[in-house]
Every structure is written in C-alpha cells, then in structure tokens.
Amino acid sequence: MSSETQLFSILIILVAFVVNAVVRRRTPPPLRPLPALETLETLTALSVEDSRPLHLSLGAAQLGSEDTLLALVGAEFLYESARRVAASDAAPFITFGDAATLPLARDTLRRAFDDSGALANYRLAQARWIPATRPLALAGGLMALQSDDRPAGNLLIGRFGPELALVLDAANRRRCPTIATSANLEGQAVAYALASAPLIGEEVFAAAAYLSADPTEAKRLIVTDLLRWLTILALVVLLAVALLRGVA
C-alpha cells in the first residue's frame, strides 16, 4: 500500500469518527459569530416594532446560469429571515431582476409565511420583478422603493455590480440598515465599504444554517468545515511528499 493511500485511509477514519461524534450531539455545536446576523436581529426587531416591511432581494441572480447555486442559497437565507417577521403587521417583500427567478421568489415567501403560521398574510404581489436588462435599471428600482416602501431594512443577497453603491447610498441617506453581499467582485467591494453589515465569501452559504431551528443544519456546517480543512491538510501533505521526493 502506497503512502498516499495510507494517508487517505487514515483521514477517512478520522472523518468518520468526528462526523459520528458531531451527529450524535444533542445540542447544536458552537459556531463562530457572524456580525451580519447580529444586524439581522436588529432589522427584524425594527420591522416588528415600527410596522415597516423587511426588503429582501436576490438582485440579478439567474436560475439556470452560473448564479443558480447563489440564488438557491440566497433564497434559503431570505426564507429564514422572512420567517421571523412574516406574522408582523408589515409583511416582508422580495425583489428580483430576472423573470426566471419568479417561482423561486414566490415559493420562498410562501414557505416563510406558511411556516410562521401567517399564510393568510401572503400575497403574490409581495414578490416583485424589477426588470434588470441593464444594471442601472435594477439599481433605480431598488433606490425608489427606499422612499416609496420605507423598509425597516434591506437584505441584498445575490448578484450586484458597482451600481450597488447607488442603492446603498439611498438606503444610508434614509438611515435604513442593510445586509449585503454579491457574486460580483466589484459589487462585493461596494457592499464591504457601504453596507451596514456585509456577508463575505462563504458566509452567505453558512448563514441559513445559523438561522435554522433545525440543529442538524449546524452539525452539517461543522462537518463541511471539517472536510474542507482535512482536504487542505491532505493537499499540503501530498505537496510536501512530492517536494521531498523531488529533492531526493
């Protein structure tokens, strides 16, 4: 048996033991804090207390494209957020820029209202399509609703370009806190600079697990992080072995 095979066999055994220990825990494992989720608690409290809606947005993310995974993960995060305020006097609403995302947006809201016991508050019009044939068109629509709908806060989870600066500036002028992230590097830089609380990198993929009431979601997140670090360790070890063999 080669040394590489032995190494991977040991890693698989370690993973099996650790995964078994994590899954068998009755209490959710501790997770590193995400500042954006602390801001989310503030947004939901403002929405309920001030009777102002929470604005959720998938931006220009498109299903059936390279943004499919982002749209699905973003929708799950928006679902967990909407579920917290669905029973309030001011129901949340969701915006999107691609028409193909309409079924996903409507289903996200419907599940949130249904799971919070407030399905009677759900309206199809709460899923709003803002045609994003051009980036500035979407930005203009999101800017306008800051004054028209007076949201308690914005959750912008999707694809946004540098035009996101216009949206965040309009929100900041009205002192409307915003959680934002973008699949576009320029949009992500704008979110980091201007948003009240940006989600950075893989945080958007983990956020839904933090918010879920199901403890298994947190356990899956721990297992995923573990597998990621073990993969990195295996690559480093294999690289070191290859370099040592080359020197020898």
CATH number of the domain located at residue range(s) 35-212 in this protein:
3.40.50
Do 60 and 98 form a contact (C-beta atoms < 8 A)? yes
pLDDT of residue 222: 67
* pLDDT interval class at 18 (50, 70, 90): low
For the chain, the structural domain boundaries read 35-212, 214-248
Distances in whole angstroms, Cα of residue 97 to Cα of each of 9, 58, 105, 242: 47, 8, 11, 49
194 closest CA partner among 128, 131, 139: 139
Q: What token pair was written down for 142? A: 């999101």
pLDDT band of residue 150 (cuts 50, 70, 90) is very high
Per-residue pLDDT of 205-232, as tens digits, reads 777 666 765 666 666 666 666 767 777 7
Q: What is the pLDDT of residue 248?
A: 55
Residue 50 vs residues 42, 47, 150, 189: alpha-carbon distances, Å? 12, 6, 11, 31
On the question of pLDDT at 1 being above 60, the answer is no
According to DSSP, the β-strands at 93-96 and 127-129 are: parallel
